[in-house]
Every structure is written in structure tokens, then in C-alpha cells.
Chains A and B, each alone.
Chain A
Amino acid sequence: MDFSTLFIIIIGSIFVNNFVIHRFLGLCPYIGVSKKMDSAFGMGMAVIFVMTMASTITWLIYTFFLNKATSIFGIDLTFLRTIAFILSIAVLVQFVEMVIKKAAPELYKALGIYLPLITTNCAVLGVSLLNINENYNFIESIVNGAAAGVGFTLVLVLMAGIRERLEYSKVPKSMKGMPISFIVAGCMALAFLGFSGMKF
């Protein structure tokens, strides 16, 4: 295993090509669940979990069912990738939610309640598709999934911090809420440009 590749994937997905503010994936929860730091953190943790799981499972489905070269059927079914991926993600999330709810109610309170939000989060499907596009291998896919989740969590929590502070500010009435959140996101995106073009 080439650790430097993994390192680059990690840095890339967290900072340089951050899923939210560089690739524009997962914006709905980014704006929706960033009012409070606590829920942002919970959401983030849940996303890390689901993204890692989704990366794993979709890579397996793709490799063994869909991709012509490696598939057990030996025919090209890549056109089914969207439908297969989203279906498995949706079911996976729903399944995990039910299991946690029963098995670990505490964990469910902390993380599980965010799970349903994640099905329709493009970041999850996005990471699965990107893994395929980038030709990542199994380990790389998983690492990329986790790193993307961490990157998502990072900006989500930072955003929540700023929004909590904005509660005390005199933001003009018409800019309150969503509009100002986008402006903050813009500021973050400008700041994160500092990571652009990073090479190791």
C-alpha cells in the first residue's frame, strides 16, 4: 500500500477539494444543520460513518457486478451504477438507522437521528461516483469516503460556530438566516482557496 497516495487523498478531500465548498456536494445539510454546533457535530459524525460505509459497499457492487472487466457477469452494466448505488445507500442508511435505534438508543440519540438526512445528501452518492471516476482501489475508496466525511464535518462545524456567533450580531434583517449563511460559506470558500494548488 502506498501511504503517500493515501495521504494525498486525505489532504485532498479534506482541505484542497473539500466536498462542500469546493465540489459543492452536501450543501443542503451544510446550510440546514449548521445552526448549532452540537447538531453539526452529530451530523458530521453520522456522515463520516455513512460515507465510509457507502464507499465500501458501492465499490464492491461496482467492481463485482457492474464493471465489465472485473464483474462476475463479464458484461458492462455501468449504466446501472446510479440506480444501484443510490438504492444500496438508501437501504443501507435505513437499515443502519433501525439497527442503531434498537440496539443502541444512546448512540441513536447522538448520531442516529441524523441518518435519514443523509440518504438524500449528494455528498454520499457523490463520493461513491467519484471513487469510480478516479479509479480508486478498494482501500483508497474507503479512505476517500472517510476523508470526505471528515472534510464535510470540518466545514459544517466551523460554519455552525460562526452561525452561533452571528446570533449575537446585528445582521440586517433581510440577510438573516439562509442568506448570511451563504455569505459565510463564500468567505470560507475564499479562505480555503489558500489550500488550492497544494502539492506534496
Chain B
Amino acid sequence: MCAKTFKGGIHPHDYKHFSNHKAIEIFPTPEKLYIPLVQHIGRPAVPIVKVGDEVKKGQKIAEAGGFVSIPMHSPVSGKVTKIGPYPHPTGTIQHAIEIENDGKYDWISELQDDENYYSLSSDKMKERIQEAGICGMGGAGFPTHVKLSPPENRPIDTVILNGVECEPYLTSDHRLMLEHPEEIIEGLRIIMKVLGAKRGYIGIELNKKDVIIIFKQMLRDHKNINVVSCQLRYPQGAEKQLIFAATKRKVPAGGLPMDVGVVVQNVGTAFAIYEALRYHKPLIERITTISGAIVNEPKNLKVPIGTPLSQLLEFCGGTSEDIAKIISGGPMMGFALPDLEAPATKTTSGFVFMGEKEVVDTTEATCLRCGRCVDACPMNLLPSFIADKVKNGQYEEAMKLGILDCIECGSCGYVCPSHIQLVQWIKIGKIEANKLKRQDK
């Protein structure tokens, strides 16, 4: 069988050996948790607790701020000590609820085991997913119940589970798939049922052969679900690229997967969906990889949402030398953080630490017009031209060149011999371009 892929992209070294053999460990819940009200795309959640309130584990502490939003739940029992600005793993400052752990771990109501979850109606399922506060765990954090409610005129026939995990260093999805394959398949079946989809795929990159074998075995009696083994190529995990690899369908530029009848969900999301349906368990913890050459014991951890990074690092034995860069997420798309304060959120797939030697020089030279960025771009854009336009404030021109179609995968920046900070230019340009777009409307 020939592995599938897309056009463009790059081949970075994957650095997964630090943690891909480490079983998931459960991280002991810390003293204090900081639960940001924004962990997803859409409106921020609205707190429904006050400072001083006692909360139980699993208790809803913030309500969805609208349809495209999700509720937040407390991962521990304890006391709300503060609601205010706090560092966020995207490098920004966001409002967060601070909860002091009382060490009792009292659930608000014991988890029920609802074995008949699969016979629930599709609407009921969606409701439960919505209540559990699930958003996409593959990175962007799009509220899952929204994704599962496509408009009438966009029938979905295919669901793809994204287990590609093409970001270097990260192994959380890998371990999850290895340790909980059945739950993930169940999750996928639920999604397919909700959407009425006939086909399911699980996309996995070839560097996770063990997982591919397991899934192949387990899927023998699910004729409508297939494993798609994908070539090692970044950004194989990006939605449009994965859809292309699995189905040869091209999501239209500026369009959504549903335009071609596909929904993509991360394997972690599928797992969370399964737990929500079967056990009524809200999304209060996730698997996160702590890795990097300088981390003494890289690990895959199951962490309660809101755990500050400093504690996670401590649990992994600290670092062997001074930290030169802290990255939340993978090194290709993640955010560099100024300190260790930020907490893990629902979308945090990992933290990577780099020492002085690994940090790349980011001084820009002049663009050679070599076109390597063009060759690397999986969206077939012209990154160097776009950056030129942004530098000169010609945002409209940049829009004509498709700046808004950029998925910020970083392939272009990775290959640029002049170290042009293409992605940052594009991010700046996107902000301005979106402003223009809104003005036009």
C-alpha cells in the first residue's frame, strides 16, 4: 500500500524519540489551577462563579458565551480565589478563573456509565458534547458541537480522524491512540452517527507504525472505517492537506471542509467525545507532551486543564541547562512564551523546551527570491511576495495573493535561507487584511 500525501510541504526531523515510548502518566493535580475563559475559537466563556465560591470537580464554572463557544468546568474541587487577567499559552493575557485545590477531588455528581450511549439520538449526542465543553483538541479549538451541526445544504459523508500529529516533538496523540484505540474508534462512530456520515478515516503518519497496525487490526470489523497511512511530510496534519490525502478532495480556497462533505476531528477530540457520551464526563483534562532535548525526563502527561507550565516542567525533572525558548504547542506552529506561568488548556498538545544551541537564528537577511518558500507552501501561495506586500503596507495586494488562505503552517519560514520571518509578516498582514475585509462589509 502506498502512503498518501499532498503537494508541497517539508521534511523536518521529528524529534519524537524523546517521548514516543513513554506511557501516559497521570499528573497529580496541583495546588492552584488557572482556567482561561478562552480556550477555543469563538466568544469567551462567561464565569458563573464568584470569588470565594466553593466548587466541585466537574462543576460548570463558566457558561458558553454564545453558540460558537463552550462552557468550562472545574478540574478539581476547591475555592475560586480570583477571576482576572492571567498569562495564556498563546502568549497573550486572557481572563482566567483561579481555583485553589482543596485536595478532596469531590465530583459534582459521580460519573455514570451510560452503556447505551450509542442509541441516543443525534441531537441528544450533540447536546451532551456541547455540555461537556468539548472543542477541537488538534490545535485551533473550534467548538465541536458547532462543527457537528453543518447547515442542511452541506451534507457530510466522510469523517476523518486526525491522528497524523505531524508536529515534531509532540507525541500526545500517538500515545493516546496507542493506549486507547477502542475509545477513539467509538468516538469516531459517534461523530459519524451525529453527522450521518457513511465513511470514516483515521489518518496516521508512517512514523507511528505501531498505531497503524493496531488500528488496522481493530478496524477489521468496521468495514466503513479505514486507516489512511500518510507519508511523513509536514503539514500532513493540516485539515485541507489531510482531506486531500485521504479523499483527493480539495477544500475550496476560503472554504470549509464541509464544503466537500468532510469533517475532520482530532483523535483527542474523539476520545473526549466518547468519554462525554459514555460517562457524562466534561472536558477537564487532556494528554500533553512535555519534551525537548534539555528536558530531563520528557513525558506524556494527563494533565488537568489549568495546570501552570512551571509545575509540569518540575514534574518532568526540570531542564539540564538554561531554557532559551519555551514553546507552547509544537515547534512549527506553537507560540513562544515569555515565562512558565501559562496554564495548559484544552488545546495544549504539548510544551517544548529548547536550549541555546537549538534556538535558530532569526535575523532576517534580504529575500533572495529563491522560491523555496513557494515550493514548500502546501497552500501553493507565494509567501515571499505576500511578505513584501505586507512590509510595504499593501494589504489589499496581499489579499489578492491569498494571504487569508495561509494556514500559518510555517513551512515557508522553515526552508527560507534568508530566515525571513514569513509567518510573522503574514500574521501581521492577516490582521490588517481582516480589518479591511470587515470595512468592505
Contacts and interface: CB of A to CB of B under 8 A. Distances in A.
Nearest to B388: A168
Contacts, number: 5
Contacts of A76: none
Interface in A151-169: 167-168
A71 B366 CA distance: 64
A138 to B, nearest CB: 46
B386 to A, nearest CB: 12
Nearest to A167: B392
Nearest to A169: B366
A170 B391 CA distance: 13
Label chain A's interface by main secondary structure.
Answer: loop
A28 B366 CA distance: 33
Interface string B375-409: 00000000000001001100000000000000000
Interface string B81-96: 0000000000000000
A167 B388 CA distance: 10
B120 to A, nearest CB: 59
Nearest to B391: A168
Q: Give the interface size bracket for B toward A.
A: under 10
A170 B392 CA distance: 13
A90 B366 CA distance: 48
A198 B391 CA distance: 44
Nearest to B367: A168
A40 to B, nearest CB: 18
A167 B397 CA distance: 14
A167 B393 CA distance: 13
Nearest to B369: A165
B387 to A, nearest CB: 10
A7 to B, nearest CB: 36
A168 B389 CA distance: 9
A170 B366 CA distance: 10
Contacts of A167: 392
Contacts of B366: 170
Interface string A135-179: 000000000000000000000000000000001101000000000
Nearest to A168: B388
A172 to B, nearest CB: 15
Nearest to B366: A170
Contacts of B388: 168
A176 B52 CA distance: 66
A142 B208 CA distance: 72
Contacts of A170: 366
A159 B206 CA distance: 50
A168 B390 CA distance: 11
Nearest to B392: A168
A135 to B, nearest CB: 48
Contacts of B391: 168
B32 to A, nearest CB: 50
A168 B391 CA distance: 9
A167 B392 CA distance: 9
B420 to A, nearest CB: 12
Nearest to A170: B366
Interface in A5-27: none
B394 to A, nearest CB: 10
A97 to B, nearest CB: 32
A170 to B, nearest CB: 8
A168 B369 CA distance: 12
A170 B364 CA distance: 14
A167 B366 CA distance: 14
A170 B388 CA distance: 13
A58 B273 CA distance: 84
A88 to B, nearest CB: 43
A33 B392 CA distance: 22
Contacts of B392: 167-168
Interface string B134-148: 000000000000000
Contacts of A168: 388, 391-392
A168 B367 CA distance: 10
B434 to A, nearest CB: 24
A199 B366 CA distance: 42
A180 to B, nearest CB: 17
A161 to B, nearest CB: 14
A102 B34 CA distance: 72
A167 B391 CA distance: 12
B49 to A, nearest CB: 54
B396 to A, nearest CB: 15
Interface in B292-338: none
A168 B366 CA distance: 11
B371 to A, nearest CB: 15
A164 to B, nearest CB: 11
B425 to A, nearest CB: 13
A183 B388 CA distance: 23
B393 to A, nearest CB: 12
A168 B392 CA distance: 8
Nearest to B389: A168
Interface string A104-137: 0000000000000000000000000000000000
5 contacts: A167-B392, A168-B388, A168-B391, A168-B392, A170-B366
Interface of A: 167-168, 170
Interface of B: 366, 388, 391-392
Question: Which 5 A-B pairs have CB atoms at the shortest separation, nearest pair first?
Answer: A168-B388, A168-B392, A167-B392, A168-B391, A170-B366
